[in-house]
Homo-oligomer: A and B are copies of this chain.
Amino acid sequence: MEDVARIAKVSKPTVSRALSGSPLVNAETRERVLAVAREQGYALNRHAQNLRRERANAIAVVLDFGSHRQGAIGDPFIFELLAGISEALSVRDLDLLLSPSGLDTVEGFVDLYQSRGADGFIVLGQGTRDALLQKVARKNIPMVVWGAVSKTSSYCAVGSDNDLGGRLAGERFLAHGRRRWLFVGSCQHEEIRLRFEGLQAVAKANQGIKIDVLSIESMAFSAIHDQANAYLKACVDPPDAVFAFSDTAAMAVIGAFSKEGHLTPRDYSLVGYNDIPPAAHFTPAITTIAQQTGVAGALLVEKLMQTLDGSRPRPAILPTLLVARQT
């Protein structure tokens, strides 16, 4: 920077100001400095900058690659979220640190934050680690979470209206005169539990509806397939309606049930979740609950920015929508 300063015949601080677009520098001078910087191929050192400014200029986005191993993350849905976040961060000139290691303990978060590795965190899906996240948030670490929204939470959550999603599914089943419902998903996951509760609420509000749960142990496609198949085989009175926690799971159910000759939409109604592209073109096309992934990323980033500004933004629940198809 000193070299640039010398060549442009100004001082170091002036170069710094010119480069960071400070209004405290004369327009002509700025041009000159910028020109010199460009022709000298000068790029200012981000670490020196971040060191001085005492921030990272980066946000860590946490997603559970671990459970990806089991096929959970491949879901295009997460990808859309990620794309939205990436976009929103890049508008604000912030770097995106993807799933840094060590974030499976409170210390991991604290350390990354304190060492200025990241200015804040966006966690995608609380999964089964809500307790950890609560602890992290209580340490005053800026964090926003995509997932289930709860009033007692110590962090700001943004998520879909999972309860509504469940209700929508239930109402569809009612409309189709279905009475033996099956919920496929693990209620260990807060988000998924809420969907179940929505479904259950509709069931309870009506007479003569039986509701069963197939609690998924692994997110792997084949595991879900096998569990569903085994369930149906052991079933004396097969379900005439299935609500699956994801479209991928719904596909697994279709495959598993069809092997036993139990077909949708003939024998049972099916509702999936996320409205991933293949859902519309699967045979049969899958009715599903769509989330507003488009706005989700931008909203998460916005809430995090508010947190960084010291305010405590309100959680947000995005509406969900049932997309009716053949099943």
Q: How far is the CB of A152 from chain B (nearest CB, A)?
A: 27
Q: Measuring CB to CB, which residues of chain A are less than 8 angstroms from any residue of chain B?
A: 41, 43-48, 50-51, 56, 58, 61, 65, 68-69, 71, 73-76, 78-80, 82-83, 86-87, 90, 93, 95-101, 110-111, 114-117, 221, 225, 248, 251-252, 254-255, 258, 276-278, 280-283
Closest to A78 in B: B79
CA distance in complex: A82, B61 (Å)? 14
Query: Knowing A73-B83, A76-B74 touch, does A98 contact B96 (C-beta < 8 A)?
Result: yes
Which B residues lie within 8 Å of A82 (CB)? 98
7 other A-B residue contacts (CB within 8 Å) besides A96-B99, A255-B281, A278-B282 = A43-B111, A46-B56, A68-B83, A96-B97, A96-B100, A254-B283, A283-B283
Q: How far is the CB of A102 from chain B (nearest CB, A)?
A: 8
In the bound complex, do residue A101 and residue B111 qualify as a contact, i.e. CB atoms below 8 Å apart? no
A-B contact pairs, 26 of them (CB 8 A): A41-B114, A45-B116, A46-B47, A46-B56, A47-B51, A47-B56, A48-B51, A73-B79, A74-B80, A74-B277, A75-B76, A76-B76, A78-B79, A82-B98, A86-B98, A95-B117, A97-B98, A98-B98, A221-B278, A221-B281, A225-B281, A248-B278, A251-B282, A254-B283, A282-B282, A283-B283
Which B residues lie within 8 Å of A278 (CB)? 221, 248, 251, 278, 282
Closest to A80 in B: B74
In the bound complex, do residue A100 and residue B90 qualify as a contact, i.e. CB atoms below 8 Å apart? yes
Give the residue of B46, B98, B251 whose beta carbon is less than 8 angstroms from that of A116: B46
Give the residue of B41, B68, B283 whose beta carbon is less than 8 angstroms from that of A282: B283
Which B residues lie within 8 Å of A48 (CB)? 47, 51
Which B residues lie within 8 Å of A61 (CB)? 98
In the bound complex, do residue B93 and residue A95 qualify as a contact, i.e. CB atoms below 8 Å apart? no
Which B residues lie within 8 Å of A110 (CB)? 41, 43
CA distance in complex: A90, B12 (Å)? 37
In the bound complex, do residue A44 and residue B277 qualify as a contact, i.e. CB atoms below 8 Å apart? no
Q: How far is the CB of A200 from chain B (nearest CB, A)?
A: 28
Which B residues lie within 8 Å of A46 (CB)? 47, 56, 115-117
CA distance in complex: A100, B89 (Å)? 9
Which B residues lie within 8 Å of A255 (CB)? 281, 283
Closest to A87 in B: B65
CA distance in complex: A278, B224 (Å)? 12
CA distance in complex: A278, B280 (Å)? 13
Q: How far is the CB of A305 from chain B (nearest CB, A)?
A: 17
Which B residues lie within 8 Å of A51 (CB)? 45, 47-48, 51
Q: How far is the CB of A264 from chain B (nearest CB, A)?
A: 11
In the bound complex, do residue A79 and residue B71 qualify as a contact, i.e. CB atoms below 8 Å apart? no
Which B residues lie within 8 Å of A100 (CB)? 90, 95-96
Closest to A96 in B: B98
CA distance in complex: A51, B255 (Å)? 55
